[in-house]
A and B are shown apart, each in its own frame.
Chain A
């Protein structure tokens, strides 16, 4: 959708009907299918509509959701999961073991091209033993397999077999088992979710509405004007204003996200490590960060409070002389004010998602910095669908500005392992692969810490991306919403217990 203007938004009802919680997203998901989820907005919607076999309880410990019980084989190479008997899909069909098997097979099917395939790579086979029992066989021994069974389950009957396609009609008519069902995609790109009456527990809020508000500058105002009850992410510069308003409360909820400037390692120029280092050293990151707000610089793929952050690695600093040395080593030639390769001036294409807060200011600033240093940068802002095509599928860019958000496990394997499903920058380092494999298999937490701190160091040295900064995440909620407990990653996990006055 197109950018909405504040006056138009203010025509929205000022006070929601009792039991209607309205929250804002920068961009409404155009596709609702959890096996293709790649954005936080999609993850939040999926949390409303779908469920996994297991989920987090309020203390973030693993607890059954669609599963009723499970039994792990003595050799820890398989398990049987018994499903709850009281679960119905939003269309009234009962949940069956076939649904679970179908979901796993769909995610594993290469033709499905699921962005979530890495989450089931540890499952060698899935078989329905009866209507309510699934047997999962593992690739290797698993001590607590239920900890990995959080992926969302799909209804087999809503698809025409395997493989699943992005274009399946399911994407706009999703059927889940979650506490809310998707009722309507509205003309203004908002999405209405209605309470799933057949859900097993009480749901405190009858209706949830996702409102697409492309301009983040307006989102905080809409909360203040009581045209929204929730903001899932508050701009740092709006924090003080919201903190001083007594109708709104701020909830810090997760911090494991970081910005980066990624290099396309599939392109000859940026495949050259010296060129990447040189480009990184042309960038004054603090100047990029200034308009975004307070944030902490980072030197690698973790946030500074992470168990895995290597504090011995310093963030990259702008250094024109060192940049020149590196660019020259990478085969570039400085001709007056312009850097050239094979006699032609360097022009790079940078892409950035429109949904990323403040990204336009950052990108324009970056463009200006590189231009001043003699490198022309063509900046393109992409909507969600174009981003997925250009970046994820076609790798059609030189540089990209992006942000990754991690749950508390801070598992970077999908981004930096050569086989990672989110490794669209094309990074490959056998030593890093080995470290990531070792970290995944570690049973001693000290070993995992040491291993990933080493991975941090190697990745930072390779510079597949310039690691920029981390920002704190806050939600803002109307004081009318009660019993608020926010899941630090999926946001709405505990929302069924929320109520409104």
Chain B
């Protein structure tokens, strides 16, 4: 490994939260796909091969189109799907859990509703057995709900295609009349079904050597050590990003100066650095969520957003970014803000509509006794 790459590796893997940029870090990320591509832009055609449309779709985080294109883009998108749904499924279970706890603490759970059973079903499906034990179990009392559960079981077992959920996954599982409206209860299994099927599909694909448009920055990026004060975790993780940015800025300057016009064009037009940076930060945010460090995950997600189009999925903002952001917001108690992040996903990913509704119910539940404030 070159000395310059070692500088980068040091910056990427040993961050402890210092905010100062490493001196003399102006080194190219020599071992990354970005460096190779900018140095030899003609290799782009060779890299994308016959799956050009798939790679283009992958670049703009349109995983469905990438999957449809086959080849390496399909394999890569399968992994993106798996990661995305895993975050959402975990979040969905957390929302059901919080809603159950909050509502039960108020003592006003509607007695004739299927809601308590659904809370138990969601928790059991997520493997949160201890919590699930506090809620009704057994076969659903409503035939249509029992039938939906059987459909999920078949899809998970491979006996039915995921597409068989498409007709109903954006709809409420059950609508119960309430005074002046309806209680629309969401399907508690849909995101976990997607997560399991996506994981199976990802595992079925061979590893992809081609790192084009990936989070690979030439060296692994690690979370900083967790501070003893959890409140300082966000600052520690922001420090990691500052050091990464210092390295990337230096590399970009150097690479741009040395590249051919075509190389510079690729670097700028495809927003290679911004895209790779965002992907790396999102992966780190997901790791932070898995490591029970939500304030860190929140900081990383905030820093990953492309603020030029903060509510749109594109080359920088991936669906997993919004999933991770929503999950982190929820876990730090910012339920309303979580809803804001999920809102971005609802239109392009109709299977998240149920999560959106359940989360919005939790938001309302948490504020039922509050007197709102408003200002000009």
Contacts and interface: CB of A to CB of B under 8 A. Distances in A.
Please indicate whether A and B come from the same complex rather than being unrelated chains: yes
Interface of A: 37-40, 42-43, 57-61, 118-119, 122, 142-145, 147-148, 150, 239-240, 242-243, 246, 249-252, 254-256, 294, 296, 304-307, 353, 402-415, 422, 435, 438, 442-451, 453-454, 472, 474, 479, 482-485, 488-489, 497, 501
A451 B302 contact: no
A240 B371 contact: no
A443 B108 contact: yes
Q: Which 7 A-B pairs have the closest CB atoms?
A: A450-B181, A411-B372, A59-B333, A409-B372, A307-B360, A305-B343, A445-B364
B371 A147 contact: yes
Contacts of B335: 60, 408
Interface in B214-265: 231-232, 234-235, 238, 242, 245-246, 249
B373 A150 contact: yes
Contacts of A243: 307-308
A418 to B, nearest CB: 17
A38 B376 contact: yes
Given A407-B372, A479-B242, A484-B235, 8 more contacts: A143-B368, A143-B369, A243-B308, A246-B21, A408-B337, A443-B106, A443-B368, A454-B180
A61 B102 CA distance: 12
Range, interface on chain B: 35 or more
B302 A251 contact: yes
A488 B336 CA distance: 10
A472 B232 CA distance: 26
Contact of A294 (B235, B309, B340): B309
B178 interface: yes
11 contacts: A38-B376, A60-B334, A148-B371, A239-B308, A240-B308, A256-B336, A306-B360, A409-B370, A484-B234, A484-B235, A488-B336
Contact of A119 (B106, B242, B310, B373): B373
Nearest to A452: B364
A403 B108 contact: no
B197 interface: no
B365 interface: yes
A488 B235 contact: no
A408 B307 contact: no
Contacts of B238: 249, 479
Interface of B is mostly: mixed
B179 interface: yes
Contact of B364 (A296, A449, A454): A449
A445 B361 contact: yes
Contacts, number: 181
Contacts of A252: 302, 305, 310, 337
Contacts of A474: 307
A240 B309 CA distance: 9
Contacts of A39: 375-376
B181 A447 contact: yes
A306 B302 CA distance: 20
Contacts of A447: 178-181, 183
Q: Which of B184, B335, B342, B372 has the most CB of A within 10 A?
A: B372
Contact of A148 (B234, B307, B342, B370): B370
Nearest to B372: A411
A412 B372 CA distance: 8
A446 B118 CA distance: 15
A246 B245 contact: yes
Given A294-B309, A446-B182, A305 B368 contact: no
Given A411-B374, A449-B361, A148 B369 contact: yes
Given A40-B375, A143-B106, A403-B376, A249 B303 contact: yes
B369 A142 contact: yes
Given A449-B360, A497-B231, A408 B181 contact: no
B184 A446 contact: yes
Contacts of A58: 231, 332-333
Contacts of A147: 367, 369-371
Nearest to B181: A450
B311 interface: yes
B310 A448 contact: no
B90 interface: no
A446 B371 contact: no
Nearest to B246: A246
Contacts of A254: 337
Contacts of B371: 118-119, 122, 147-148, 150, 409, 411
Nearest to A403: B376
B183 A446 contact: yes
B53 interface: no
Contact of B369 (A144, A412, A449): A144
Contacts of B376: 38-40, 353, 402-405
Interface string B160-180: 000000000000000000111
B110 interface: yes
A307 B181 contact: no
A415 B361 CA distance: 23
Contacts of A118: 371
B363 interface: yes
Nearest to A255: B340
A246 B340 CA distance: 27
Given A119-B371, A305-B343, A489-B373, A61 B307 contact: no
Contacts of A449: 181, 360-361, 364
A405 to B, nearest CB: 5
B289 interface: no
Contacts of B21: 246
Contact of B374 (A59, A249, A406): A406
B313 interface: no
B339 interface: yes
B363 A307 contact: yes
